[in-house]
Structures are given as C-alpha cells and as structure tokens.
C-alpha cells in the first residue's frame, strides 16, 4: 500500500511517462497517440517543443501498447519531469559551468560548452515555469474545459493539452486508488480476524487468573476482551482523576460491583476543551459526582506519608480531619537544616522578559534558590532519587531543568510539575510556587485541588519558596496556611543551616550564596600561628607522575594539618558562620586566586 501511495503522489507532483499515460489519452472514446522523440513524447507535447524529425509510432510499435492496459497498475510508475528534479538538474549544470571555466584553458571550447549548458538551463527554466503555471488545472473539472474530438493532439492549445493530460492522469490515479482501497479492505479484514483471534487467546489466558490489571483506555479499546472476562467486580484506582466517560466505557453488563478509590480533593480529570470542562462540568469525575450526590462512601482518615507537622498545612484548609499513623513519627530530621518544614518568603517578582506570549510563568530567583538547596542536600549525603523539585508552572520546570543540567551532581534529580506528581512522594520535596507580582494574581494557585497535591508530596523534608503576601491576598486557603506556618515558626526570610555534629553551630542564609561573604582564602605559608574552629584545606597536587613538590616538606605538612581547633577538616563551607570566621587554606598561590575568583562569581550571582 505504501508503494501505491507513493505512485499516487507521483501523479499529483510529477509528469507521468508516456508509456503509462498512453491508454488514457482520450477525447470521448477516441484514443490518441503522440509522436516519438528523443525525450519522452509527453514532454515535447506538453511544453510545445515538437521536433521536426519526430514521426508517428509504427504499427509494430503500436501493437506493444495494447499490452500496457493489463500492466499499468502492476508496473512501477515512472515519471519524466518534476519541480524537484528540474531544480536539481539546473544546480548541477551551474556547477558544471563553474568547473569548466576553472579547468579549461581553451576559452573558445569553454564558451561552447557553457553555452550548451546555458541553453539547457534556459530550456529547463521555461519548462519549470510552464509546469507551475498549469498545475492549477490539475483538479479543474469545469464544463468549459471539456474538449471536442480533434484529428491531432498537437493542434490543441497549451492550456487544452495540459487539461487533457491531467484528465488522463486522474483516470490513472483513480485506478491506483481503487487498487489501494481493495488492498486496504483486505488489510482491515485480516486485521479484524487477527484481533478476534488475539481476543480469544487473551481471554482464555486471563480467565486463569483472579485479578486482571488494565488502564481505562485499554479497557475501552478492547471492550470485546472485557466482555469475555465476565468480571463481576471492577476496582478503579485514582478514580477522582479519571473522566466519567472513560470509566463508563470500561464497564460491561457483567459488572455487579463497581468500587471507586480516589480523592476528589486532589487533581480533577483533564479535559481537552476548557469551555466544556468549566461550563458543562466535564472535569467532574464520576467519583466526585457520586460524593456530591450523597452516594454511600467510606473515608480513610489516616495518612502514612507526611511528617505530622506537614499535615497541619492542609487541615482544616483542605481536609476536615486527617490523622497521622505512628510510622511517620519515626522519620529522621533532615541533615544539615534546622527545620524539616520551612516556607522561604520573598518579594522578588516573577520574570516578565521572554514570557509575554506565554500562558506559563517562571521565577528565576526561586529557581536558583531551589537548585542551590538541592545541591546542598546532595552534599549532606542524600541521593538524587531522595530529592524532588516541584514547580507549579511548566515554564518554571523548564528553567529548573536547564539549571540542574549545568551541574553534574544534580542531573539525576527529578524536576517536574505539580500536576504530573499526583500519587507520588519523596523523602525531601522542594516546591517553587512561582507567582509573585504587583497585581496579586496567582492563577490556578487558588484551586484547592492543586494546593492539596502541592503540599502533600513530602515525607521527611518540605521546603517551599514563594511570596506569601501575594498568595494570602488572593486566597483564603493561603491565609490559613500562613497562620499554620507562623504557629510552627516555619516561615521567614532566612534558611537556617546546622552542623549535624555540633547543633550549636548554625548559619542563617538570607541569600543563596550568603555563606561565601566573609570566608578568608589564604596560603598555608601565610597562616602559621593562626587558627580557626573549621578549616578547609586544598592540597592541590594530583598527577600521573606522583609529583607533589614541597608537600613533601614536614614543616609545611605540620602547619597545614594543625590549624583547625576542633581537629577535623570538613568538606562543606556551610558549617561556618558569619561570626565564626572560616579560613580556606591552599598550598599553591594559583589555587588561591582561582578560589577567590570562584567565591566572587558565586557571590555576584546572588
């Protein structure tokens, strides 16, 4: 069928060779012949370039054409002219002209050759213009173009020739279409038989098991198979996120008990048409409609995911009641951060540049904070699969992914939109709420369903970045959430880091690179006689030749290893505070300058 489709497209875009076209060159019932020529006869006829030495085809040659009618559909369809071919030939000849002028010393010979090429190029250009001009007649079947019988096709005007040509091509094309339709019918019949056999086999296999799992789309598509299973009980998971039509299409007459499991307080089904969803309740699932109409339902009130203090964010703002199982009380604290739950409040507006024509939004300030926090958590020995970065808009998701790709350590951290994360969870979730503007517009962040999903994904650590002033001015739900956060002292404009081994050592970050501000960077030789609680030492030397220079000197080794008061060398700059100055020691002056440069770049990026 693909071969036939290709040949039909050739009929529409190219000029068909005369040997395929001859049986269809008719006016009324009279079949006409074209004169033979050096090129394909149809070209000279269509483009009005009859050669004086052309002759009619002999009777013996004519006998051979009688065989073509039986071969026309089975042979490969050949063409003799197309726009693509003409342009390629012209380009090739122009290259040949340049080549001749470059390599031929005889100017007279070169001129003769280039003149021949130019003559052929002009001929192809004329044909190309003519071909484009008369292509509009291809689908023209108006009465004024009906032709009367003539003695000779060469007596027709150019427009009449092209009209006759396209009439003949349409007959040929219709025969190809008829054959393709026949093959398509055979294919559909064979495919239907194959599906029936597959349904019988799958049905027999599935009858041997007690539980069959399938998506609603597959259940609707393979309804015949569902009927053969005779399943009396159907259980639908995440039913509140499935369109009612999808569930109904999945059911059979054998269903006696339909069990819907879901949460209508979370995301609703996604309808393709916004007006139908909002004005005609297409986004209301069968699950939610039954709840609204008072159909018998049982509610589970114990959650086994979130840490207990996270639950207060959605109770009673979203849920009337939600208890926590004892298992969530044994969660460990997040390493390196004082609070397991924290809302970092800011007043930096969302991006406007580059988002004028977009329905989405992004906030570069929040994105950089989220990435910096994720990087810090990785240094606290969390693995990438234990951290998720969520955003409420796809524009922010794309920005976050671009930023994480620049850091090899963060490449495997999952970054996704809240709407794509329903039903999932992780140990630590970093959430960017994005919206922050003068007009206090927060879009769908007013929707209780999305708020519920966004605030209920984290298990042990939950860190939110947003403009609470804008959020609570636009939504009563966010006002309740703000009150809960204040009760827990979990909202503010600083993120407190903590030393895991020495809890009294803390560092308040008000900007994402705040900790780099007062760190001293110096050489070991300049630090003799000095000390600090925390020292980070860079030994620099690492090469194939095992050359370490003056690092073999006991004196320098002694000074380098005796500067820290607490007797240990840490790998994380976050452990120092602005009041407890840190020292960065290096054994090489070039390393010192590089370190200072990195520190300045990071601080300037705040």
DSSP codes joined into one string, 480-525: HHHHHHHHTT-EES-EEEE-SS-TT-EEEESSTTGGGTT-EEEEGG
State the Cα–Cα distance between residues 393 and 533, nearest whole angstrom. 44
Residue 9 included in any domain: yes
- Whole-Å CA distances, 145 to 45, 161, 162, 220: 18, 11, 10, 52
Q: What sign does the CA torsion over 136, 138, 139, 141 have?
A: positive
Strands (E), 206-274: 233-236, 257-260
The CATH number of whichever domain residue 442 belongs to comes to 3.40.50.300
Q: Could you tell me if 286 and 137 lie in one domain?
A: no
The answer to whether position 230 is within a domain reads yes
Q: Is 206 left (phi over 0), alpha (psi -120 to 50) or beta?
A: alpha
Q: Which two tokens stand for residue 458?
A: 């984290």
Q: Give Cα separations from 409 to 194, 375, 406, 412 (angstroms).
A: 50, 7, 9, 7
Does residue 242 sit in the same domain as residue 268? yes
Look at residues 244, 272, 298 and tell me which one is the last residue of a structural domain.
Answer: 298
Same domain, 370 and 445: yes
Same domain, 294 and 349: no
> Peptide bond before 342: cis, by omega within 30 degrees of 0?
no
Among 514, 548, 578, residue at a domain's last position: 514
360 & 278 share domain = no
Q: Is the same domain home to 393 and 266? A: no
Angle at CA 178, nearest 5°, toward 174 and 182? 170
Residues 254, 144 share a domain: no
Domain for residue 187, yes or no?
A: no
Nearest to 127 by CA among 167, 153, 162, 164: 162
Q: Judge residue 265's burial from the number of C-beta atoms within 10 Å of its C-beta, 0-12 exposed, 13-18 middle, 19 or more buried.
A: middle
How many structural domains compose the chain?
A: 4
Is the residue at 310 inside a domain?
no
Query: Do the Cβ atoms of 340 and 504 come closer than 8 Å?
Result: no
Domain of 142 in residue numbering reads as: 1-52+66-178
- The verdict on 86 and 149 lying in the same domain is yes
Q: Is 580 exposed, middle or buried (0-12, 13-18, 19+ CB in 10 A)?
A: middle
Q: How far apart are CA 210 and CA 231, in angstroms?
A: 9
Looking at the domain assignment, is residue 317 inside a domain? no
Residue 519 placed within a domain:
no
Query: CB–CB of 301/323 below 8 Å?
Result: yes
Between CA 116 and CA 118 the distance in angstroms is: 5
Q: Report pLDDT for 519.
A: 57
**CA proximity to 462, closest of 395, 389, 371, 411:** 389
With beta carbons less than 8 A apart as the criterion, state whether 269 and 289 touch: no
Nearest to 403 by CA among 362, 464, 444: 362
Answer yes or no: is 600 within a domain: yes
What is the reported pLDDT for 142?
52
Residues 25 and 128 in one domain: yes
Question: For each successive 10 residues of the chain (606 residues), what is the average pLDDT?
Answer: 85 90 88 88 85 41 41 67 93 91 84 92 93 81 66 88 90 91 93 91 91 93 90 95 93 95 93 87 94 93 96 95 95 95 96 75 96 94 96 96 94 96 96 95 94 97 97 96 97 90 80 54 84 80 83 87 66 34 46 53 45
Q: Which pLDDT does position 512 carry in this prediction? A: 59
Find, among 256, 263, 215, the residue nearest to 241 by Cα.
263
Domain end call among 463, 491, 514: 514
| Alpha helices, DSSP H, located in 104-222 | 107-134, 158-206, 216-221
| Same domain membership, residue 168 and residue 41 | yes
With b for 16 or more beta-carbon neighbours within 10 A and e for fewer, the 353-374 pattern comes to eeeeeeebbbbebbbbbbbbbb
Question: What pLDDT score does 74 carry?
Answer: 44
Q: Show the tokens assigned to 328.
A: 């969530």
Q: Taking the CA atoms of 587, 588, 591 and 592 in sequence, report the sign of the dihedral they define.
A: positive
The answer on 38 and 145 residing in a single domain is yes
Asked if the structure places residue 47 within a domain, the reply is: yes
Q: For residue 216, what are its two tokens?
A: 């609603």
Whether 476 and 389 share a structural domain: yes
- The 3-state DSSP class for residue 298 equals coil
């Amino acid at each position: 069928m693909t071969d036939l489709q290709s040949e039909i497209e050739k009929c529409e875009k190219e000029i068909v060779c005369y040997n395929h076209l001859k049986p269809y060159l008719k006016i009324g019932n009279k079949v006409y012949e074209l004169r033979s020529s050096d090129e394909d006869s149809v070209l000279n006829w269509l483009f009005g370039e009859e050669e004086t030495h052309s002759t009619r085809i002999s009777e013996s040659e004519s006998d051979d054409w009688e065989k073509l009618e039986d071969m026309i559909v089975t042979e490969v369809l050949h063409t003799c002219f197309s726009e693509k071919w003409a342009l390629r030939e012209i380009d090739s000849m122009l290259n040949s002209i340049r080549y001749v002028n470059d390599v031929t010393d005889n100017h007279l010979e070169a001129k003769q050759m280039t003149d021949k090429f130019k003559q052929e190029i002009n001929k192809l250009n004329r044909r190309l213009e003519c071909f484009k001009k008369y292509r509009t007649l291809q689908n023209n079947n108006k009465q004024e173009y009906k032709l009367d019988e003539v003695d000779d096709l060469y007596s027709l005007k150019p427009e009449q020739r092209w009209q006759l040509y396209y009439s003949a091509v349409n007959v040929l094309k219709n025969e190809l279409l008829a054959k393709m339709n026949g093959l398509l019918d055979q294919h559909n019949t064979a495919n239907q038989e194959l599906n029936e056999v597959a349904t019988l086999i799958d049905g027999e296999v599935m009858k041997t098991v007690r539980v069959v799992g399938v998506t609603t789309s597959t259940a609707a598509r393979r309804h015949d198979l569902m009927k053969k299973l005779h399943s009396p009980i159907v259980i639908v998971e995440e039913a509140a996120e499935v369109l009612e039509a999808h569930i109904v299409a999945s059911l059979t007459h054998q269903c006696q008990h339909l069990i819907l499991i879901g949460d209508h307080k979370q995301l609703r089904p996604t309808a393709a048409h916004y007006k139908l969803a909002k004005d005609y309740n297409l986004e209301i699932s069968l699950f939610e409609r039954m709840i609204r109409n008072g159909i018998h339902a049982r509610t589970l009130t114990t959650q086994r995911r979130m840490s207990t203090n996270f639950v207060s964010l959605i109770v009673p703002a979203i849920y009337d009641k939600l208890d926590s199982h004892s298992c969530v009380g044994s969660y460990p604290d997040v390493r390196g951060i004082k609070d397991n739950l924290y809302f970092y409040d800011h007043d930096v507006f969302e991006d406007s540049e580059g988002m004028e024509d977009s329905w989405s939004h992004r906030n570069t300030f929040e994105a950089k904070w989220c990435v910096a926090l994720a990087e810090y958590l990785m240094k606290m020995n969390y693995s990438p699969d234990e951290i998720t970065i969520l955003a409420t808009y796809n524009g922010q998701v794309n920005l976050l992914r671009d930023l994480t790709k620049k850091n090899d350590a963060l490449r495997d951290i999952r970054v996704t939109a809240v709407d794509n994360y329903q039903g999932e969870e992780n140990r630590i979730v970093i959430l960017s709420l994005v919206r922050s503007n003068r007009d206090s517009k927060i879009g769908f962040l007013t929707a209780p369903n999305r708020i519920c999903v966004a605030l209920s994904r984290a298990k042990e650590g939950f860190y939110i970045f947003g403009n609470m002033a804008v959020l609570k001015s636009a939504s009563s739900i966010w006002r309740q959430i703000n009150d809960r956060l204040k009760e827990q002292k979990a909202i503010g404009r600083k993120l407190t880091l903590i030393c895991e081994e020495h809890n009294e050592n803390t560092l308040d970050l008000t900007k994402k690179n705040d900790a780099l501000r007062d760190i001293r960077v110096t050489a070991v030789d300049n630090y003799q006689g000095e000390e600090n609680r925390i020292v980070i030492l860079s030994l620099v030397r690492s090469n194939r030749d095992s050359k370490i220079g003056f690092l073999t000197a006991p004196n320098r080794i002694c000074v380098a290893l005796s500067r820290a008061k607490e007797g240990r060398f840490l790998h994380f700059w976050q452990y120092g505070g602005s009041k407890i100055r840190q020292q960065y020691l290096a054994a090489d002056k070039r390393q010192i300058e590089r370190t200072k440069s990195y520190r300045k770049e990071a601080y300037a990026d705040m």
